[in-house]
A and B are shown apart, each in its own frame.
Chain A
Amino acid sequence: DTTVKQNPRYKLARVGKPVNLICSQTMNHDTMYWYQKKPNQAPKLLLFYYDKILNREADTFEKFQSSRPNNSFCSLYIGSAGLEYSAMYLCASSSGGGAEQFFGPGTRLTVL
């Protein structure tokens, strides 16, 4: 099974409220990623976990948090959603540098 699952597929949130997105994979991949995709823009890496080590991009460091309680699951947490967080959030996993990344179908977050 090479699928990456994401829940929920659609999420509606209010400004100022927290948001928690979930991703899972059963391929025993050591690395899990979160990307943000806005219309007409390239998917942008937010952060990734290599095993238990979290790497966050400098320009989104304070906006997103994540946890990886075990190898299969990874969450993306927004403490206080703003309108600018409305986007598609893609989760991916891979094993090894330069390896194929397997993507989930994404969670479309709309902040009102």
Chain B
Amino acid sequence: GDSVTQTEGLVTLTKGLPVMLNCTYQTTYSPFLFWYVQHLNEAPKLLLKSSTDNKRTEHQGFYATLHKSSSSFHLQKSSVQLSDSALYFCALSDQGGRALIFGTGTTVSVSP
């Protein structure tokens, strides 16, 4: 079946450094890919979304490019801030284009 894989469970880094969170997926159709961010005690919020191959999408300093050839949608930021400490989920929408299939999430912890 369809699946999303996030290889890092926890990423710890210092403020100002770059970060990349891996996301790969398996599906037989052409999906929408999403990144959601969840800060402590808050609801998950959409960070990025894409369905277009090889097009970079950006928001709030984060960016990702959907590569259908490698089934990847890695999240990057060139310089993390303390406020970026959160749980990040990669997800794809199913064949009906409605329900989301999530990865297990990556916790990012940024220190001063």
Where the two chains meet, the residues of A that have a C-beta atom closer than 8 Å to any C-beta of B are 4, 31, 33, 35, 40-45, 48, 50, 55, 90, 92, 94, 96-98, 100-106
Residues of A within 8 A of B44 (CB): 90, 103
Where the two chains meet, the residues of B that have a C-beta atom closer than 8 Å to any C-beta of A are 4, 9, 32, 34, 36, 41-46, 49, 51, 89, 93, 96-105
Determine if A33 and B99 form an interchain contact, defined as CB atoms under 8 angstroms apart: yes
Contact of A97 among B43, B89, B96 (CB under 8 A): B96
Residues of B within 8 A of A105 (CB): 41-43
Determine if B102 and A50 form an interchain contact, defined as CB atoms under 8 angstroms apart: no
CB distance from A40 to the nearest CB of B (A): 7
User: What is the CA–CA distance of A96 and B49 in the complex, to the nearest angstrom?
Assistant: 14
Determine if A31 and B98 form an interchain contact, defined as CB atoms under 8 angstroms apart: yes
Determine if B43 and A42 form an interchain contact, defined as CB atoms under 8 angstroms apart: no
**Who on chain A is nearest to B97 by CB?**
A97
Determine if B97 and A98 form an interchain contact, defined as CB atoms under 8 angstroms apart: yes
Most buried by B among A4, A104, A105: A105
Determine if A41 and B104 form an interchain contact, defined as CB atoms under 8 angstroms apart: yes
Determine if A40 and B97 form an interchain contact, defined as CB atoms under 8 angstroms apart: no
Residues of A within 8 A of B105 (CB): 42
Determine if A104 and B43 form an interchain contact, defined as CB atoms under 8 angstroms apart: yes
User: What is the CA–CA distance of A17 and B44 in the complex, to the nearest angstrom?
Assistant: 29
Q: 21 A-B pairs, CB-CB below 8 angstroms?
A: A33-B99, A33-B100, A35-B100, A35-B102, A42-B89, A42-B102, A45-B99, A48-B98, A48-B99, A90-B44, A97-B93, A97-B96, A98-B32, A98-B51, A98-B97, A100-B49, A102-B43, A102-B46, A103-B36, A104-B43, A105-B41
Determine if A50 and B9 form an interchain contact, defined as CB atoms under 8 angstroms apart: no
Contact of B9 among A40, A97, A100 (CB under 8 A): A40
Residues of B within 8 A of A45 (CB): 99-101
Beyond contacts A103-B43, A105-B43: 12 other A-B pairs, Cβ-Cβ < 8 A, are A33-B98, A41-B104, A42-B105, A43-B89, A43-B100, A43-B102, A92-B100, A94-B98, A97-B97, A97-B98, A100-B34, A103-B45
**Who on chain A is nearest to B38 by CB?**
A103
